[in-house]
Structure 1
Amino acid sequence: MTSSDEHGPIRVMLVDDHEVVRRGIVTAIDSSAALTVVGEASSVVEATRRLPAIRPDVLVVDLQLPDGTGIDVMRAARELNPEQEMLVLTSFDDDAALRESRSAGAAGLILKSARSKDIVSAIETVHGGGTVWANGSAEDEPELSESDRRIVELIGDGHSNREIAEQIGIAEKTVKNRVTVILQTLGMQRRTQVAAMVAARRRAGWK
Structure 2
Amino acid sequence: MESNDRIKVLLADDHIIVREGTREMLERQPDIQVVAEANDGVDAVELARVYRPDVIVMDIAMPNMNGIEATREIKKILPTTAVLILTAYDSDQYIMALIEAGAAGYMLKNVRGNQLIDAIRAVHSGESILQPSTTRRVIDQLNKNNPPASEATEAETDSMSHALTEREMEVLKLAAKGVSNRDIASQLFLSSRTVQTHLSNIFKKLNVASRTEAILYGLKRGWFYMEELP
Q: What does residue range 79-158 of structure 1 map to in structure 2 within 5 Å?
A: 79-133=76-130, 140=135, 142-143=176-177, 144=179, 148-150=184-186, 154-158=190-194
Deviation at 1:31, TM superposition (A): 1.9
> Does structure 1 residue 59 correspond to structure 2 residue 56?
yes
Cα shift at 1:7: 6.3
* CA 1:11–1:147: 2 relative to 1, 3 Å: closer
The structure-2 alpha-carbon separation of the partners of 1:153 and 1:52, relative to structure 1 and needing over 3 Å to count, comes to farther
Structure 2 unaligned regions, length at least 5: 136-174, 212-230
Q: Matched residue of 2:96: which SS?
A: helix
Give aligned-pair identity as a percent. 29
In structure 2, the residue matched to 1:43 is 40
Give distance in 1, aligned partners of 2:67 and 2:121: 20
Contact kept, 8 Å, 2:9 with 2:56, in 1: the verdict is yes
How far 1:81 moved relative to its partner? Answer: 1.4
Which TM-score applies when normalising by structure 2? Answer: 0.61
Report the 3-state secondary structure (helix = DSSP H, G, I; strand = E; otherwise coil) of the residue aligned with 2:29.
Answer: coil
**Backbone CA RMSD of aligned residues:** 3.4
Q: Which residue of 1 aligns with 2:70?
A: 73
The verdict on how the C-alpha distance between 1:99 and 1:46 changes in structure 2, with shifts beyond 3 A counting, is same
1: CA distance between counterparts of 2:44 and 2:36? 9
Q: What SS does the corresponding residue of 1:86 show, helix, strand or coil?
A: strand
Q: Report the alpha carbon displacement of residue 20 of structure 1 after superposing the two structures with TM.
A: 1.1
> What do residues 147-189 of structure 1 show as CA deviations (whole Å, max 9, x unaligned)?
7341578432459xxxxxxxxxxxxxxxxxxx7xxx5xx9944
What SS does the corresponding residue of 1:68 show, helix, strand or coil? coil
- Whole-angstrom CA distance in 2 between matches of 1:22 and 1:189: 30
Runs of 4+ aligned residues of structure 1 deviating over 6 Å after TM superposition are none
Structure 1: gaps spanning 5 or more residues: 160-178, 198-207
Give the direction of change, closer, same or farther, for the CA distance of 1:56–1:98 in structure 2 (3 Å limit): same
CA distance in 1, matches of 2:29, 2:189: 25
Q: Distance in 1 between matches of 2:201 and 2:60?
A: 24
Distance in 2 between the 1:132 and 1:57 partners? Answer: 16
Aligned residues: 163
Is 1:132–1:139's contact at 8 Å kept on the other side of the alignment?
no
State yes or no: 1:15 paired with 2:12: yes
Instruction: For 1:113, give the aligned amino acid.
Output: N
Deviates more, 1:39-48 or 1:112-121: 39-48
- TM-score, length-normalised on structure 1? 0.67
Change (3 A) 1:47 1:152: farther
